[in-house]
Amino acid sequence: MTLDSRLLADEVGIHTAGAARWARWLRLMKTRLTVLLGKLLMRLGIHTQETDWSRYKATLVGNSDVRKFADVYRQILAGNPEQRLALDAWLQEQFRRGRLLYGLHVTDRAHMTCLVFDYAGRHLHFIDGADGGLFLAAKAFKARATQYINRSGAQAPEQQMNYRDTV
């Protein structure tokens, strides 16, 4: 919900790939108008045929991906520096005690990719930390897992498995 052309560049670029400069500018103006209209609809709590705009933000939050995939819990959190330091200290203590492995990536902003079928509720929002987000957290997780293996003498899962030749 911004009017900053730099922050709208990805959205505009998706819709105007390969288009002339004036078409990109026109799409930027249309996107800005859509943002302004959305802000107005939400602020005034307008009900349209498409949706109840007073509930749109709550629906967006409810439809955001906060799930456990592949037996790994992944979470994007927002907080202040003190909260982050407290969380990091707790995670480090749990790691030190051998209770969990974790990866952490800290950034000052997030990125949201949306799949919208309709505004009344059938929309899904994928949220990730900017500048690498979950990818860099996974990289930190792998480094910490290697540290755990080296410290504990445990074998990596692929070293523990006995594969037999099959015909």
Q: What would the two tokens of residue 147 be?
A: 């540290």
Flag whether pLDDT at 68 surpasses 60.
no
Cβ contacts of residue 46 below 8 Å, gap of 6+?
Answer: 40, 53, 54
Between 42 and 130, residue with greater pLDDT: 42
Where does the pLDDT of residue 61 fall: very low under 50, low under 70, confident under 90, or very high at 90 and above?
A: confident
pLDDT at res. 155: 58
Between 139 and 75, residue with greater pLDDT: 139
- Taking the CA atoms of 75, 125, 34 and 119 in sequence, report the sign of the dihedral they define: negative
Threshold 0.85, pTM exceeds? no
pLDDT at res. 132: 85
The arithmetic mean of pLDDT across residues 49-53, rounded, is 86
Q: How far is CA 87 from CA 70, 92, 103, 111, 140, in A?
A: 23, 9, 12, 22, 16
d(Cα 13, Cα 8) in Å, to the nearest integer? 8
Best CA proximity match to 75, nearest among 141, 148, 133: 133
The arithmetic mean of pLDDT across residues 62-72, rounded, is 66
Where does the pLDDT of residue 159 fall: very low under 50, low under 70, confident under 90, or very high at 90 and above?
A: very low
The arithmetic mean of pLDDT across residues 91-116, rounded, is 86
